[in-house]
């Protein structure tokens, strides 16, 4: 601790005490390294470990671009890297513990190689983990958060020029920064790109740490998003996924209730082959969004719509702004407008105070909605959130039993949904060579279902018709249409 340079420490309380009415200034920023950084970076190897959601993946791509522009090269091997960055996730406790395990494992090689270690992302926005890192992992040279990644060069230079751990974590974003680069630079895939449309979240679901770690909700300007998609298309990209913690509230911070539908339509009109978006908030949807989805072939017929619970009492305690009946109405409307839509969801099991009766309501809503897939999570108390202070009497055994019962149901539905695809023809965007078997190429169909076919690298980046031959719970096996 005594060697640390603490410019600014996180405060969850300050992060929660925000005024969404104040308009954040929009800023344009160039990605311009100093001569000092360029000479430091030449030929050095960097390794980025990213945990958590797509927002973190996108942030890591931006940081990757910063590093590539210093003349650095990327490596997958942490033990060989001169610069190691952990971009962390705070959503559940196990993601946080994983970080400490990783730091413990690399300590010896870091000290031996004199590697520079930086940690950023959501965990760094919390007070206790930052203290813990400073006390237990003093070999880490730089800690920063989610609200100042665009200042990365400045932070790195300050950290390199001094001793000890340099800590600069902003509890609130001070502006909405548009970086000058919005094309393919830094991105991990040459075919499929994430495009941020909103940052942060103002919903304050009682279990969730995100509104504290990613700040107040702010929407990028529509013209900046559309220009980014156009630029990606011009660079050969086939697919964009519009990203936000709560995409369908896009523009609500500017009092425009129809902004998401308008944005979706403008993005569709760029003519890029495939558009997806994640994650919507059920009751922020308006029918106009579904109409736009139905109207444009390049908006994919799949939706990830987090339900969280099927019990009204629990939804209320979660501070979700919809009831079971309203959720079902949204699903029905969606299925009327887009009959072939694939619907997936997120569900939390054993939220504090959840009774067997509440849980049965979750099971029955899952059956009624006939999801094509679902992510299921055991409730994980996040320090600082209201749910972490709620009374929780359910035994660990009961919690795991509920989790297993739900997982069984969800897997059955996924298997059934996948089986329906056998004998059909789908269009697949091929994105990678299978890690297990080099003769298999993998991609996703329009519904977002993972499809593997025998083939070679020539398929990568192409959209091809595939006949589905076999189904598994999480994937499909097919062959390119017309091939023997």
CB-CB contact of 374 with 331 (8 Å):
no
Contact partner at residue 246 from ligand SF4, ligand 5AD, none, CB < 5 to 8 Å by partner kind:
ligand SF4
E-strand ranges in 125-221 read 142-144, 166-168, 176-179, 192-196, 198-199, 218-219
- Interface pick for ligand SF4 out of 110, 210, 315, 350 (rule CB under 6 A): 210
Q: Which residues pair with 452 in a beta bridge?
A: 442, 477
Contact partner at residue 377 from ligand 5AD, ligand SF4, none, CB < 5 to 8 Å by partner kind:
ligand 5AD
Query: Nearest distance from residue 432's CB to ligand SF4, in Å?
Result: 28
Task: Please name which of 199, 226, 183 lies closest in space to residue 61, comparing C-alpha atoms.
Answer: 183
- Please give the residues from 283 up to 312 whose contact with ligand 5AD meets the rule CB under 6 A: 306, 308
DSSP for 368-419, please give it: HHT-SEEEEEE----TTSGGGGS-----HHHHHHHHHHHHHHHHHHHHHHHH
Query: Nearest distance from residue 100's CB to ligand SF4, in Å?
Result: 23
- Interface pick for ligand 5AD out of 185, 202, 224, 346 (rule CB under 6 A): 346
Q: Which lies closer to ligand SF4 via its Cβ, residue 319 or residue 415?
A: 319
For position 379 contacting ligand 5AD by CB under 6 A, the verdict is yes
For position 246 contacting ligand SF4 by CB under 6 A, the verdict is yes
Question: Which range of residues in 43-51, 113-121, 324-332, 372-380 is near ligand 5AD by CB under 6 A?
Answer: 372-380
Q: Which lies closer to ligand 5AD via its Cβ, residue 40 or residue 379?
A: 379
Structure tokens at 91: 């959503």
- Interface pick for ligand SF4 out of 245, 376, 417, 442 (rule CB under 6 A): 245
- Interface pick for ligand SF4 out of 208, 229, 331, 426 (rule CB under 6 A): 208
- Interface pick for ligand SF4 out of 145, 211, 244, 282 (rule CB under 6 A): 211
Q: Half-sphere exposure (CA, 13 Å, Cβ side) for 177?
A: 17
CB-CB contact of 11 with 127 (8 Å):
yes
How many residues of this chain bind ligand SF4 (CB under 6 A)? 10
Structure tokens at 350: 């054993």
Q: Max CA-CA distance within the chain? A: 69
Task: Please name which of 317, 313, 413 lies closest in space to residue 372, comparing C-alpha atoms.
Answer: 413
CB-CB contact of 172 with 18 (8 Å):
yes
For position 348 contacting ligand 5AD by CB under 6 A, the verdict is yes
Matching residue, tokens 């009497």: 393
For position 256 contacting ligand SF4 by CB under 6 A, the verdict is no
Structure tokens at 64: 């990757």
Q: Which lies closer to ligand 5AD via its Cβ, residue 267 or residue 369?
A: 369
Contact partner at residue 326 from ligand 5AD, ligand SF4, none, CB < 5 to 8 Å by partner kind:
none
What value does the CA radius of gyration of the chain take, rounded to a whole number of Å?
A: 23
Judge if the upstream peptide bond of residue 235 is cis by omega within 30 degrees of 0: no
Query: Nearest distance from residue 170's CB to ligand 5AD, in Å?
Result: 22
For position 15 contacting ligand SF4 by CB under 6 A, the verdict is no
Sign of CA dihedral 155, 156, 160, 163: positive
For position 290 contacting ligand SF4 by CB under 6 A, the verdict is no
Q: Half-sphere exposure (CA, 13 Å, Cβ side) for 105?
A: 10
Residues 180-209, mask of contacts with ligand 5AD (x by CB under 6 A): ---------------------------xx-
- Interface pick for ligand 5AD out of 48, 70, 91, 409 (rule CB under 6 A): 91
Residues 146-185, mask of contacts with ligand SF4 (x by CB under 6 A): ----------------------------------------
- Please give the residues from 380 up to 439 whose contact with ligand 5AD meets the rule CB under 6 A: 380, 382
Question: Which range of residues in 66-74, 115-123, 202-210, 226-234 is near ligand SF4 by CB under 6 A?
Answer: 202-210
Q: Which lies closer to ligand SF4 via its Cβ, residue 210 or residue 300?
A: 210
Cα of 402 vs its chain's centroid, Å: 26
- Interface pick for ligand 5AD out of 18, 64, 92, 452 (rule CB under 6 A): 92
Sign of CA dihedral 22, 170, 71, 74: negative
Q: How far apart are CA 186 and CA 200, in angstroms?
A: 22
CB-CB contact of 121 with 96 (8 Å):
no
Q: What is the DSSP code (8-state) at residue 23? A: P
- Interface pick for ligand SF4 out of 84, 201, 299, 343 (rule CB under 6 A): 201
Q: How far apart are CA 432 and CA 427, in angstroms?
A: 16
CB-CB contact of 140 with 115 (8 Å):
no
For position 380 contacting ligand SF4 by CB under 6 A, the verdict is no
Which residues are near ligand 5AD by CB under 6 A? Answer: 91-92, 207-208, 306, 308, 346, 348, 377, 379-380, 382
Which residues are near ligand SF4 by CB under 6 A? Answer: 201, 203-205, 208, 210-211, 245-246, 281
């Amino acid at each position: 601790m005594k060697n640390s340079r603490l410019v600014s420490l996180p405060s969850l309380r300050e992060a929660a005490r925000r005024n969404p009415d104040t308009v954040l200034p929009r800023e344009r920023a160039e990605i311009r390294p100093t001569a000092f950084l360029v000479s430091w970076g030449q030929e050095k190897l960097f390794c980025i470990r990213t945990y958590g959601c797509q927002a973190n993946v996108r942030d890591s791509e931006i940081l990757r671009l910063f590093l590539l522009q210093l003349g650095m090269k990327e490596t997958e091997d942490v033990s060989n890297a001169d610069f190691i960055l952990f971009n962390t996730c705070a959503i559940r406790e196990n993601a946080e513990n994983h970080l400490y395990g990783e730091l413990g494992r690399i300590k010896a090689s870091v000290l031996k190689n004199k590697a520079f270690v930086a940690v950023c992302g959501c965990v760094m926005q919390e007070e206790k983990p930052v203290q813990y890192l400073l006390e237990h992992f003093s070999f880490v040279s730089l800690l920063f958060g989610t609200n100042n990644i665009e200042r990365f060069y400045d932070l790195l230079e300050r950290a390199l020029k001094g001793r000890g751990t340099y800590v600069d974590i902003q509890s609130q974003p001070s502006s909405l920064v548009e970086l000058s680069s919005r094309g393919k630079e830094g991105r991990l895939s040459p075919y499929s790109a994430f495009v941020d449309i909103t940052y942060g979240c103002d919903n304050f679901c009682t279990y969730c740490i995100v509104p504290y770690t990613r700040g107040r909700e702010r929407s990028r300007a529509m013209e900046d998003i559309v220009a980014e998609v156009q630029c990606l298309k011009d660079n050969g990209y086939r697919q964009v996924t519009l990203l936000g913690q709560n995409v369908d509230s896009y523009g609500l911070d500017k009092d425009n209730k129809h902004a998401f539908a308008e944005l979706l339509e403008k993005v569709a009109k760029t003519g890029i082959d495939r558009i997806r978006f994640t994650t919507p908030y059920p009751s922020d949807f308006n029918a106009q969004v579904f109409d736009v989805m139905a109207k444009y072939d390049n908006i994919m017929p799949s939706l990830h719509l987090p339900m969280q619970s099927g019990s009204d009492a629990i939804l209320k305690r979660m501070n979700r702004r919809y009831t079971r009946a309203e959720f079902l109405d949204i699903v029905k409307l969606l299925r009327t407008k887009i009959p072939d839509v694939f619907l997936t969801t997120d569900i939390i099991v054993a939220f504090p105070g959840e009774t067997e009766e509440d849980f049965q309501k979750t099971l029955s809503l899952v059956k009624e909605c006939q999801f094509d897939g679902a992510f299921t999570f055991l409730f994980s108390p996040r320090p600082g959130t209201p749910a972490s202070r709620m009374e929780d009497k359910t035994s660990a055994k009961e919690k795991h039993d509920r989790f297993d019962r739900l997982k069984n149901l969800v897997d059955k539905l996924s298997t059934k949904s996948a089986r329906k695809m056998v004998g059909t023809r789908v269009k697949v965007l091929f994105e990678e060579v299978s890690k297990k078997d080099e003769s298999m190429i993998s991609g996703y169909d329009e519904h977002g279902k993972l499809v593997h076919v025998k083939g070679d690298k020539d398929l990568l980046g192409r959209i091809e018709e595939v006949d589905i031959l076999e189904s598994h719970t999480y994937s499909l096996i097919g062959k390119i249409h017309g091939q023997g």
